[in-house]
Amino acid sequence: MKDFRLGVKLMSGFVLVGLITLAVGGIGVNGLKSLQGDIEILGREKLPSVEHLYTIKEAAQGSTIVHRSLLNPGFTLAEREALYEENARTRGVIQAAREAYLQLPLGTAERALYDELMGAWRVRAEAVNRFTDLSRRLDQTGILNPARLRADLEKFRGDHYRAAVQTQDLIHSGADFQGGEDPSLCAFGRWLPTFETTNSQLQDLLHQVRGVHHEFHGNVARIKDLARRGYTEQAQELYRTAMMPAVDRTLAVFGEMIQVAGRAEVLHAEMSDLLMGDVARHSARTYELLDQLIGLTKANAEEAVVVAESEVRQAVQWSLFGSILGVFLALLFGVLLTRSITRPLGRALEMIQDLAAGRLGRRLNLKRQDEIGQMALAMDGFADNLEKEVLEAFKRLADGDFTFEAQGLIREPLAQTNHSLNALVGELQQVANQIAGAGGEVADASQSLSQGATEQASSLEEISASMNEMVSQTRQSAENAGQANHLSDEAQKAAEQGNRKMGDMTQAMAEISEAGQSISKIIKTIEEIAFQTNLLALNAAVEAARAGQHGKGFAVVAEEVRNLAARSAKAAGETAELIEGTVEKTSRGTQIANETAQALDTIVGGVRKVTDLIGEIATAANEQAEGIGQVNSGLSQIDQVTQQNTANAEESAAAAEELSAQAMQLKQMLARFRLSAAVPDVSAPSEKTQPAAFAAPQDVWPAAQPAAKTTAIALDDDEFGRY
């Protein structure tokens, strides 16, 4: 492979990888085609079958819910009609799902089980139709809750019968009872406006009962009025002639309405028995067969899935085998190709590293016809040139010899470099002499400036210490004034609170006085009650004496009542005297509390004035402390600036001394270079230019021209601070 070019080798590798990929792809496509057939069986036959069967089951369960809802007496006719429409819709859904299921290919077992399911379904449909007919007949009665209606009517009939009996008792025994006069207040009267029905017979009966009902309650009202006034015979006559016929007609109409409700209740009971009996039994059998058919269809689908998984495993195995074989061949070719490239490149890298380390004796000596062989030949020639001419030139330059002349490729660049370096080193020597002279003057000036700044910083520190002590004392005074102001505020608050408490006590004592006066009035009332009780006991004793032997016990009780009344009068009198004394003492306490409140008002005014004065003192002390603090802050800033100037001056002095030392070192370093005769020796400083200027060297590196006349930068007093 050494004689082939790199492009040919790489293209061969890509072709091999492409062939391997094509083979693996063909195996995958074959497996996918088999898998596609299995998926079509699942997607177009098995899964739609299960879906249609589940649709039939869900719709059947929905129809069962509709049937149970028809038994609910809480639905209106409009809502029941919506349930019938929902039942018709579910039947349509079931029929559509059955037709779609029959269009799919079915096995022998599936066909037999489906026929059995359809037979059970027809039996269930007959029971459901009977249930629906009964529900429609119940709707035609207009009584959707017959049990509730029958119970209410029986209760209303019982209520009116009980009212008739109570009326009879009122006439004979005088036992009065509540209600019965207003027909709109009885249970039937309140229920009648809320009841609605489409049953024509029931509507006629309700129309009849309204008049009879009003007549019934009107008779009750008249009889109660006569009985209360004592006209018993008239009440009895009214009850016999008017009340009894109204009762008979009322109870008869209630009985007819109960019969109507009973017939509707029979229909509702037949519906419930049919739904919970035949419909539920046939539905359970239908759901059982439907679940069996769904299970059989799902088993067939799972079998198809197993077959598809087996084919997928075979396709994966073949693809894996092809991929492993392709990877092995690709790795083998890659290893061979990599070794043919990396080994010579490794040798070339070692040669380059040797060249970087200065070892120029290594050669590649590769006998190849490709691009790597051409690169090796060029690198060998480059190493020969470096070893024979370039390395020698750099050695002479490293020794500081700028007079060396080359003969080969680098002759002209080396000549220009030597000329430029000669001019540059000459300029550097002149600049080093100027820097050494100016550095000494800068160091002396910096030392003097540093000493003056140090003395100024010391004075500012003493002033700052005095101001800090003054600020501390002023702040202490301000804090003391603030504490006094705080204590004065607390004293003022305490006095104001005491004044408020004294006001509350005065108000409480006034309320106590008013309460005492109210109690005195109550005691007087008790005395009057005791006096009246004594009189009543006396009258009772007189009556007992008249009764003779039979009134002795009552006379003893009357005597005890008189004694208790006398004792109550005595206790009330003593309590009244105590209350009057308490009221007088409370009045004196109220007067003393008012005088104390006036004294506290005077104290509060004085404390408020003291608080205001102390607050003004505290404010003035705080303002004085803030002013002194600002002065102290200004002095601190001046002190910081002075210290910074001192540090800068010391740093400038040190930098100047360091600059002078480095200038001398630079002169010593430049003295080792060998320059051509055309550049003058400027190792000795010039007396004319040493103290005043630096010589600015021109940029002589790009061109090999002689150095031009330099321009000096004057370091006078105005420009000194900038450096």
Q: Are 104 and 49 in contact (CB under 8 A)?
A: yes
pLDDT value at position 211?
Answer: 87
Number of folded domains in the chain? 4
Report whether 249 contacts 225 (CB < 8 A): no
Are 257 and 296 found together in one domain? no
CB 397 within 8 A of CB 404: yes
| Same structural domain, 182 and 106 | no
Which two structure tokens, joined as six digits, stand for 162?
């009980």
Examine the domain organization and report whether 260 and 153 are in the same domain: yes
Is residue 527 domain-shared with residue 661, that is, in the same domain?
A: yes
Q: What is the CATH number for 306?
A: 1.20.120
Q: Is residue 542 part of a domain?
A: yes
Q: Residue 41: what pLDDT? A: 56
Would you say residue 692 lies in a domain? no
Indicate if 240 and 389 belong to the same structural domain.
no
In a domain, 429, yes or no: no
> CA–CA separation, 378 vs 385, rounded Å?
11
Q: Who contacts 336 (Cβ-Cβ below 8 Å, separation ≥6)?
A: 1
Nearest 5°: CA angle at 143, between 140 and 146? 135
Closest CA to 40 of 105, 137, 101, 124: 105
In degrees, rounded to 5, the angle at the alpha carbon of residue 500 between the alpha carbons of residues 497 and 502 is 110
Give yes or no: residues 49 and 175 share one domain: no
Which of 291, 310, 334 lies at the terminal end of a domain, its last residue? 334
Burial of 395-409, coded b for 16+ CB within 10 Å and e otherwise, reads ebeeeeebebebeee
Select from 242, 265, 288 the last residue of a domain: 265
Determine the pLDDT at residue 408. Answer: 60
Q: Which long-range contacts (CB under 8 A, 24 or more apart) does 474-479 make?
A: 474/621, 474/624, 474/625, 474/628, 475/625, 477/621, 477/625, 478/618, 478/621, 478/622, 478/624, 478/625
Q: Verify that 161 and 67 share a domain, yes or no.
A: no
10-residue mean pLDDT series, the chain (723 residues): 61 70 67 57 63 80 82 81 85 83 77 84 86 85 84 89 88 83 87 84 87 89 88 89 88 89 86 85 84 78 69 72 75 73 74 74 71 71 69 69 65 72 73 71 72 73 74 74 75 76 76 77 79 74 70 73 79 79 77 76 75 76 75 77 77 77 74 62 43 39 40 44 41
pLDDT at 707: 39
Sequence-separated (6 or more) residues with CB below 8 Å from residue 594: 506
444 within some domain: no
The confidence score (pLDDT) of residue 719 equals: 45
* CATH code of the domain in which 151 resides: 1.20.120.30
Picking from 385, 411, 437, the residue at the C-terminal end of a domain is 411
Question: Is the same domain home to 291 and 206?
Answer: no
Q: Is residue 431 part of a domain?
A: no
- One domain for residues 235 and 157: yes
pTM listed for this prediction? 0.38
- Is 381 inside any structural domain? yes
> In this structure, is residue 712 part of a structural domain?
no
Residue 696 and residue 711 in contact, taking contact as beta carbons nearer than 8 Å: yes
Is residue 295 domain-resident? yes
In this structure, the answer to whether residues 254 and 285 fall within a common structural domain is no
H/E run at residue 680? none
499 and 627 part of one domain: yes
Structural domain of residue 62, as residue ranges?
A: 6-143+279-334
pLDDT computed for residue 715 by the predictor: 42
Do 598 and 466 lie in a common domain? yes
CATH of the domain at 604: 1.10.287.950
